[in-house]
């Protein structure tokens, strides 16, 4: 089993990156091959001038990330909730990376596209200062639904697991450490079950 973990925080040091690393450790402990890529380290290039962006405009970093996605069986994305959505830099990465003909394609006579990354599973771990109950009731889990239905399922990834860690702002260092350990255990259990079913 090969797992790709993308830390979707634009800063070099963050709790989001720590969660991604905890997931990496748990997966590796179970025996999965893992790779961790941080958005903060990527050169994603400028906005495309083309009407329909293509892989011809990819930077070396974007090309490497795409290859890692193709090689993965399970794709994990960690990111914070900023102003009700993902960081703008993460959205910009998706705009450049998930291009027609590579991540999805439309076929004549069909209203919906075919996701070209089918056969892979996904997992999203999101942090926020908004309490989970209010995120679900007040905001209707909007970012979770966007990421799941309009991005990951759109390109063929399924099933998709979601974890919301909050409110981070009110957590003590002890609480944060517990969350990291929970994510490590979660990754270990998931990788263990997948490896066992594949044996």
**What pLDDT was estimated at residue 86?**
98
Those residues whose C-beta lies under 8 Å from the C-beta of residue 13, and which sit 6 or more positions away, are none
Spell out the domain ranges in the chain: 2-198
Those residues whose C-beta lies under 8 Å from the C-beta of residue 103, and which sit 6 or more positions away, are 97, 115, 116, 117, 155
* Helix 60-71 / helix 88-97 crossing angle, nearest 10 deg: 80
Report CA-CA distances (Å) from 69 to 34, 120, 141.
Answer: 11, 9, 26
Closest CA to 19 of 138, 123, 89: 123
- The pTM of this model reads 0.95
| Helix ranges, 82-172 (H) | 88-97, 132-137, 142-145
CATH superfamily of the domain spanning 2-198: Flavodoxin domain (3.40.50.360)
**What pLDDT was estimated at residue 46?**
85
**What pLDDT was estimated at residue 47?**
79
Report CA-CA distances (Å) from 198 to 27, 32, 150.
Answer: 15, 12, 29
**What pLDDT was estimated at residue 13?**
94
> CB atoms < 10 A from the CB of 74, how many?
22
**What pLDDT was estimated at residue 88?**
97
**What pLDDT was estimated at residue 48?**
75
**What pLDDT was estimated at residue 54?**
86
| Helix ranges, the chain (H) | 15-30, 60-71, 88-97, 132-137, 142-145, 173-198
Query: Residue ranges of the chain with pLDDT lower than 50?
Result: none
Whether the CB-CB separation of 105 and 114 falls below 8 Å is answered with yes
């Amino acid at each position: 089993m090969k797992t790709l973990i993308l830390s979707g925080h634009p800063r070099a040091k963050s709790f989001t990156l720590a969660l991604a690393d905890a997931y990496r450790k748990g997966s590796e402990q179970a025996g999965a091959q893992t790779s961790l890529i941080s958005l903060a380290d990527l050169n994603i290039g400028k906005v495309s001038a083309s009407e329909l962006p293509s892989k011809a405009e990819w930077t070396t970093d974007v090309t490497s990330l795409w290859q890692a996605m193709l090689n993965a069986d399970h794709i994990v994305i960690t990111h914070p909730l900023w102003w009700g959505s993902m960081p703008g830099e993460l959205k910009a990465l998706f705009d450049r990376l998930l291009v027609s003909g590579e991540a999805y394609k439309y076929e004549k006579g069909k209203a919906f596209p075919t996701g070209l990354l089918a056969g892979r599973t996904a997992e999203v771990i999101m942090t926020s200062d908004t309490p989970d109950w209010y995120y679900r009731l007040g905001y209707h889990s909007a970012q979770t639904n966007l990421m799941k239905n309009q991005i990951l399922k759109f390109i063929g990834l399924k099933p998709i697991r979601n974890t919301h860690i909050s409110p981070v702002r009110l957590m003590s260092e002890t609480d944060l450490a517990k969350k990291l350990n929970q994510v490590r255990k979660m990754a270990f259990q998931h990788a263990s079950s997948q490896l066992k079913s594949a044996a």
